[in-house]
């Protein structure tokens, strides 16, 4: 694999199951074993009940664009070739929300409410990024 020049996530014991899942082509979120609340990103305590007993579950990887932004300003030199690039907030069908890039669509064609599905992009041996693409099955 070529050297990846963009910033990489800090993988630790708390979020490792998410990144392991991404490498396996699974989008995972935490489930509180005390109250059943699903959450993302990883946290030691449940935001709903403050419980500490959690497990990681696989999601269906599908959701809806809640909002988005188009970045025109360069914050990291390694993103220069991609300017302008998008960042979308996706609400998964299971409830949790996460930020990612929407790929395979022109920035000007992104709309709130579009159905999307997870896509996995290996960038190093240890890191596979979760991105989203339009969900063609949603239109069927």
Place of tokens 């809806």: 64
104: alpha, beta or left, given left = phi > 0 and alpha = psi -120 to 50? Answer: left
The pLDDT tens digits of the residues spanning 120-139 come to: 999 999 999 999 999 986 54
Instruction: Report the Cα 24 to chain-centroid distance in Å.
Output: 14
Q: Per-residue pLDDT for 140 more than 50?
A: no
Average pLDDT, the chain: 95
Calculate mean pLDDT across residues 71-88.
96
pTM exceeding 0.85: yes
Q: Identify the burial level of 116 via C-beta atoms within 10 angstroms of its C-beta, where 0-12 means exposed, 13-18 middle and 19 or more buried.
A: buried
The pLDDT tens digits of the residues spanning 8-40 come to: 999 999 999 999 999 999 999 999 999 999 999
The pLDDT tens digits of the residues spanning 36-68 come to: 999 999 999 999 999 999 999 999 999 999 999
Calculate mean pLDDT across residues 81-87.
97
Which domains does the chain show, CATH number per domain?
16-139 (2.40.50.840)
Greatest CA separation for the chain: 46
Q: Per-residue pLDDT for 104 more than 70?
A: yes
């Amino acid at each position: 694999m070529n050297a990846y020049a963009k910033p990489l996530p800090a993988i630790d014991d708390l979020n490792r199951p998410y990144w392991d899942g991404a490498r396996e082509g699974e989008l995972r979120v935490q489930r509180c074993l005390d109250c059943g609340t699903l959450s993302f990103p990883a946290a030691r305590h449940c935001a709903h009940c403050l419980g500490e007993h959690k497990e990681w579950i696989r999601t269906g990887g599908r959701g809806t664009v809640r909002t988005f932004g188009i970045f025109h300003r360069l914050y990291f030199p390694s993103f220069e070739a991609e300017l302008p690039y998008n960042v979308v907030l996706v609400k998964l069908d299971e409830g949790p929300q996460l930020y990612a890039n929407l790929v395979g669509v022109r920035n000007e064609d992104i709309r709130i409410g579009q159905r999307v599905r997870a896509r996995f992009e290996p960038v190093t041996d240890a890191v596979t990024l979760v991105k989203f693409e339009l969900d063609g099955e949603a239109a069927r």
